[in-house]
Amino acid sequence: MDRTLKALSLTLSYPGTELQDAMPQIGAVFDTDRRIAPDTRAALRTLTERLGQGDLYDLQEQYVMLFDRSRTLSLNLFEHVHGESRDRGGAMVSLVETYRGGGFEPATSELPDHLPVLLEFLSTRPSSEARETLADAAHILDALSARLSRRESGYAAAFAALSQLAGGQADAEAVAEMLAHPDDDPTDLTALDAVWEEAEVTFGPDPNAGCPQVRDMLALMDKPAVKTAPAPTTLNRSA
């Protein structure tokens, strides 16, 4: 298992008491991984200390405001690839089949494209496969890191680390295109109410689907989703 990918999966998960208790061990994993640049390791140390020692309710509120109420910071990766198009549902089903083909059953209610879920899966895969999958999503990781840096959020360090683990350079044009869209306002309660009014979407196995490699499912990440007029998205603490 790639312990660093597993540690990043936990770091980007919704804060809870058990996660707080594990933060010293998670920080130790980051400290020993020389694939991550020294300044990023230092920033990760600051982040894990804050997550481990901060007031839990404050941490949970900050997490929700960042990742649940801001579509531009969504941890559901296909949100940035397919937006609200029908292709998103098919990609979800295929990703579930990929997980099952690899003997992986996520023990969570999160959507299958939720970044912590993907990272947990990748932590069990060969390093070359994990690196190539992260490279496919590099422009998304870089854009999220930049948006979080704008907000002076310590979570930016986690995305910087993922970019370094991917290796190579993200497509600068794709990153710029994503960043050209304005950040969402998480305090816009009218927009939030509209999100909650959307019908629930569920995903299940497709009997006609095969089990392609996960990086094939994410291959479309080489370009950001085409944005149309704003539309509501499912909000289940991760969208």
Element (H, E) at 142: helix 138-150
Tokens of 223: 């370009």
Chain-centroid distance of CA 212 in Å reads: 21
Lookup result for tokens 């990742």: 67
Residue 210 has pLDDT above 60, yes or no: no
* Whole-number pLDDT of residue 199: 36
Give me the pLDDT at residue 214, please.
Answer: 44
- Statement: residue 207 has pLDDT above 50: no
- pTM of the model as a whole: 0.76
More confident residue, 158 or 78: 158
**To which H or E segment does residue 49 belong?**
helix 38-53
* pLDDT-above-90 percentage for the chain: 48
pLDDT tens digits for range 8-62: 999 999 999 999 999 999 999 999 999 999 999 999 999 999 999 999 999 999 9
* Single-letter residue type at 128: S
State the Cα–Cα distance between residues 15 and 53, nearest whole angstrom.
11
In the prediction, which pLDDT does 82 show? 52
Q: What percent of the chain has pLDDT over 70?
A: 72
Contacts within 8 Å (CB) and 24+ apart, 85-92:
85/225, 89/201, 89/203, 91/217, 91/220, 92/203
Nearest in space to 189 (alpha carbons), one of 235, 151, 132: 235
Digit-coded pLDDT (tens) for 118-165: 999 999 999 999 999 999 888 989 999 999 999 999 999 999 999 999
